[in-house]
Structure 1
């Protein structure tokens, strides 16, 4: 039968389209078959197949990423540990541990005489500095040691004593802001999350840049700070592309220029403030972080770009930790009136007036310290985990050999709320930390490491402790607090690097007049 020449192009197009469809089907079939075959290998033959965990998390990392994306990872991993034990395979190449020994083996110096070397930070998961000058968080070992030696003295107890007037200034201002609000409206409700954030950022702005962000004065978040909070969820979700090389490559081409522009705009806030601070030089009175850094002989070993990166890091790490912890502690105390009464009585029987409270005096209060510690257990500032990676010779973790290229984590919230580590794990019981308390003698107290462990633990942990105690002491001494009904379920939160904290609404009554 003759073919109509006029129809020839259309017929050829149909053939070509059919061929393209067939090739697409073949490619899709191949990819599905490859995915299934790889999943079967992971479940049955992978070096991690000996570790407990559900088959679906060994087959694919999608459940893990889904939990991260939805901010429910800390609850998801806790359920897995409840079902499968102290070690769980939560992804094809990732293990989660809640045994306290994992802190030493994965983050500390390891256990002598065991096979393998100490795991390192999982560098890909920590990203790169936008100005190509890593902060102490991102720096590899040589640069990390150099930076840490410079900053160590700036975070020492002696240095904190020099900076005490700054802490007292803003914590007293917090008390004043509450008093002023009550004078205008005695029935006013206060969002303590906002107030604690304002205080922490004003303190750290003064210590880091020699200038306040004036958030307590303005009763508003500075635009820069709002950007930080808004970017945490996005950063967590965008970080997932690192698990897929093709997506990572596409993302690098398409989205990286825009993301890097935003990151540079954020960094510029630090650059401008560091500029102004360095121009002031070393103050004869001392009192902020850069005074103490610039006084150190090793300070010349830090480039200007590294100063910018580290100042930006310190502003976030040095604020979010204490503000989150004090928010959580306030909620826990208000949910446990007997504990609130006990710590309040300790404060009001110890000090004749608010002005007598110093960092040293408050640090000596036994029950307040127990309350803060228990608060860090139930509501740690970092709910998730800080990933480590085994090296070419693997590592021994909790007596088990873990093969090379394995990601290791100790999820904090899951570790601290597991009945394998703590009796009555979901109850707020500061008394469990009293050494002579036999009821909780079986608690594995060493499991609590809210500031991590080892050579890369948090440099500012002493500062955070002082700030948390001082804020809570001043607030509880001066005011009687009552949790508002709308915040009864405040602790049911999502977490994206940091907790996604809703308002913590509190009714406040003045106890001690100004």
Structure 2
């Protein structure tokens, strides 16, 4: 026993374990010091301007993204440091209008694309959003059928039925004299539409005048998504070690959402009927008679469609409604266009609203001021590196292009904080605007498939709204409703209560 004890003692009579712990602490401290020195003086990104603390550690950016106002912090950094800012040891943010083309744009033959940053899309890794180049092309080709012009015409009666029910509910509120919280009601409408298009049945939000429990869960999970995404991005090794624990205890809403998607997809597949919806497009057999998408791909793409096809459209409608109420001149001009274009409300259809030019300008300006997806969908610089916005970025660099900062930068848009739809209609005051900085539906080979459907749906709803009602704020404080909101991936929207007054000539 004494001999064993003696072997665990050094000549100084100190136990081995404390010395090993001290050695480990020295190694960790040494590694941290070397990381700081490397990131500041030897990293390929060392010449990219940015705050020192952000350059030496991913923690400042991660914390900023979890505090609710990262979009404003990123804009402030660009205003101080320029169009290319280092936001982490291996990440940069870009504000130059040409960044979209250089990072996201179509590639020449043989030129690799800048792939999606995988940690950001881990929860939907089998979707068209996260797929690698080969699988993206295959999945996108399958999904495209559900968003074609022919499909949109087939879907019009289905979408129109929910819009009719939406305006029936508005009339009930008007007759009761109650104001309407359009945040809730636009979400009721868009979730019911996408529920039917994706799963063959609505969520019953309009019917019950309330959120389905799953819809409420969609909103609640984004803080969890943001925190987990930042952990995976900042500390991938640590995330790999503790991810199972986090998934068990800190991501209950995300797991519950995934389980409900699986149930809904299974139920829709059991219908075995041809409906003019997205699931029909995704399950149609290929030339060989086999299903084009796997079950996991069906589930992940359905999950994407639920959020992308509902929350973003509803958010844009809320933002535009707020901006119209705050700008009576724009509201009057929009109403005049709608009233001059149609003789009856029945003439307002998904197809006919496409000719409303001022309406399109209002929507575009609303998306610029209040983009439904204000954050970045990060990319990785491809193998071999690339020169982006006159700055060399080595392969593996994480690149962010934030929508809100890009659209609110005076270097891209004159009077950037002002809501002026005329900027999209040739007004000479905005001749020097960098219009290509505006990419709310992304750009390149991975741009949003639902762009045309989203525009048609928003035009139709807004046209019928201003046809039927004069709208105004219940609370004048809501004039700044689109300002000072917090965001976790998407906006955390407060209520927006609106008065509805039936137009006197109706």
TM-score clears 0.5: yes
Match for residue 98 of structure 1 among 95, 102, 115: 95
Query: What residue ranges of structure 2 are gaps of 5+ in the alignment?
Result: 1-8
Which residue does the alignment assign to 2:206?
Answer: 216
Q: What are the Cα deviations for residues 143-190 of structure 1, in whole angstroms up to 9, with x where unaligned?
A: 211111111121011211110112211122111111101212x2x221
Task: Note the C-alpha offset of 1:268.
Answer: 3.1
2: CA distance, partners of 1:209 / 1:256: 26
TM-aligned CA distance change 1:245 to 1:229, over 3 Å: same
* 1:175 and 2:167 are equivalent in the alignment: yes
Which residue does the alignment assign to 1:374?
Answer: 365
Q: What are the Cα deviations for residues 44-82 of structure 1, in whole angstroms up to 9, with x where unaligned?
A: 221101112222221222221121010211110000111
Task: Note the C-alpha offset of 1:501.
Answer: 0.7
2: CA distance, partners of 1:306 / 1:349: 46
* 1:406 and 2:397 are equivalent in the alignment: yes
Structure 2 matches for 1:23-62, cutoff 5 A? 27-28=24-25, 30-62=27-59
Structure 2 matches for 1:85-484, cutoff 5 A? 85-110=82-107, 117-129=112-124, 134-184=126-176, 186=177, 188-242=178-232, 243-258=234-249, 263-283=254-274, 286-295=275-284, 297=286, 300-435=291-426, 437-483=427-473, 484=475
Match for residue 494 of structure 2 among 490, 493, 502: 502
Count of residues in Structure 1 that have an aligned counterpart in Structure 2: 491
TM-aligned CA distance change 1:24 to 1:481, over 3 Å: farther
Which residue does the alignment assign to 1:68?
Answer: 65
Which residue does the alignment assign to 1:5?
Answer: none
Matched position secondary structure for 2:85? strand
TM-aligned CA distance change 1:32 to 1:336, over 3 Å: farther
8 Å contact from structure 1 (residues 282, 295) kept in 2: no
Matched position secondary structure for 1:165? helix
Matched position secondary structure for 1:300? coil
Task: Note the C-alpha offset of 1:28.
Answer: 4.4
2: CA distance, partners of 1:139 / 1:450: 20
Q: What are the Cα deviations for residues 362-416 of structure 1, in whole angstroms up to 9, with x where unaligned?
A: 1111110100011111111111101100133012212332112201111110001
Task: Note the C-alpha offset of 1:272.
Answer: 2.8
8 Å contact from structure 2 (residues 217, 253) kept in 1: no
Task: Note the C-alpha offset of 1:323.
Answer: 0.7
TM-aligned CA distance change 1:267 to 1:256, over 3 Å: closer
2: CA distance, partners of 1:379 / 1:260: 28
Question: More displaced, 239-248 or 95-104?
Answer: 239-248
Which residue does the alignment assign to 1:82?
Answer: 79
| Aligned-pair Cα RMSD in Å | 2.5
8 Å contact from structure 1 (residues 172, 474) kept in 2: no
Question: More displaced, 334-343 or 24-33?
Answer: 24-33
1: CA distance, partners of 2:122 / 2:282: 26
Task: Note the C-alpha offset of 1:27.
Answer: 4.6
8 Å contact from structure 2 (residues 142, 281) kept in 1: no
8 Å contact from structure 1 (residues 478, 512) kept in 2: no
2: CA distance, partners of 1:471 / 1:277: 27
Matched position secondary structure for 1:314? helix
8 Å contact from structure 1 (residues 388, 408) kept in 2: yes
8 Å contact from structure 2 (residues 179, 499) kept in 1: yes
TM-aligned CA distance change 1:24 to 1:179, over 3 Å: same
8 Å contact from structure 2 (residues 224, 250) kept in 1: no
2: CA distance, partners of 1:335 / 1:17: 74
2: CA distance, partners of 1:339 / 1:28: 64
Question: More displaced, 415-424 or 167-176?
Answer: 167-176
Task: Note the C-alpha offset of 1:247.
Answer: 2.8
8 Å contact from structure 2 (residues 283, 292) kept in 1: no
2: CA distance, partners of 1:280 / 1:77: 47
TM-aligned CA distance change 1:36 to 1:507, over 3 Å: farther
2: CA distance, partners of 1:420 / 1:399: 17
User: Please, what TM-score do these two structures have when normalized by structure 1?
Assistant: 0.89
Matched position secondary structure for 1:458? coil
8 Å contact from structure 2 (residues 365, 420) kept in 1: yes
